[in-house]
């Protein structure tokens, strides 16, 4: 009979495998969760699942390269992160330091927004969680992510603002007050 610790190790090893699903599967999952549990519950569930996936992505990126990653300049670091996500089919991300406390990752071909342009609100909820988990691992502390534009709403690109929870919360409040992103960033 196998020990409990052995079973836990096997489960952890099995849980670290990567699988690929069509991007439309994320959209169908979100819509079904919304129908079954409601919008807010779907957002929370997808964000939590995305965060866990982001933590796993960070672990796969840094395994065996922790020293190397810590020695990278900012441009090379973002190139490594965006390349990882691009190779995994998420889309081509571009990093921009738009404010001293806020970064922006943007994509004109982000996978979670494929096939829809009629949503009422940004809908890349799994992605915001995933990016938060990935960036939290990279930073060694909490990083909040907010989708500030979404192709599923008809925007030209999906864009994710990130920074400390307090800064992102303040940015969200300014956006809710009707400010455009450049004006909201200037007001921070």
Phi, psi at 5, each rounded to 5°: -65, -40
Compute how many other C-beta atoms are within 10 angstroms of the C-beta atom of residue 31.
Answer: 14
The pTM assigned to this predicted structure is: 0.88
Question: Given this model, what pLDDT does residue 122 score?
Answer: 86
The structural domain count of the chain equals: 1
**In the numeric block, which tokens belong to residue 33?**
């969760």
Helix (H, G, I), strand (E, B) or coil at 143: coil
39 is a domain residue = no
Provide the residue-wise pLDDT of the chain in tens; the chain has 188 residues: 444 455 545 545 565 678 888 888 998 999 999 999 999 999 999 999 999 999 999 988 877 555 567 677 888 889 888 988 999 999 999 999 999 999 999 999 999 998 777 788 888 999 999 999 999 999 999 999 999 999 999 999 999 999 999 999 999 999 999 999 999 999 99
In-domain check, residue 26: no
Quick one: pLDDT at residue 7? 52
Does residue 5 belong to any structural domain of this protein? no
Q: What is the CATH number of the domain that holds 178?
A: 3.30.1380.20
Residue 177 lies in a domain: yes
Residue 102: domain span: 49-187
Tell me, yes or no, whether 7 lies in a domain: no
Cα Rg of the chain, angstroms: 17
Q: Does residue 89 sit within a domain?
A: yes
């Amino acid at each position: 009979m196998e020990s409990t610790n052995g079973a836990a190790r096997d489960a952890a090893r099995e849980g670290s495998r990567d699988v690929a699903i069509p991007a439309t599967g994320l959209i169908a999952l979100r819509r079904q969760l919304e129908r079954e549990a409601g919008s807010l519950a779907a957002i929370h569930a997808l964000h939590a699942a995305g965060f866990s996936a982001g933590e796993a992505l960070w672990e796969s990126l840094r395994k065996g390269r922790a020293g190397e990653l810590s020695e990278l300049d900012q441009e090379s670091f973002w190139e490594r992160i965006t390349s990882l996500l691009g190779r995994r089919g998420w889309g081509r991300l571009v990093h921009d330091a738009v404010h001293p406390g806020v970064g922006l990752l943007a994509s004109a071909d982000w996978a979670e927004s494929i096939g829809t342009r009629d949503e009422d609100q940004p809908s890349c909820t799994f992605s915001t969680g995933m990016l938060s988990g990935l960036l939290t691992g990279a930073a060694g502390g909490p990083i909040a992510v907010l989708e500030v534009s979404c192709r599923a709403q008809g925007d030209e690109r999906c864009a994710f603002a990130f920074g400390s929870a307090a800064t992102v919360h303040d940015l969200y409040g300014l956006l809710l007050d009707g400010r455009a992103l450049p004006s909201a960033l200037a007001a921070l």
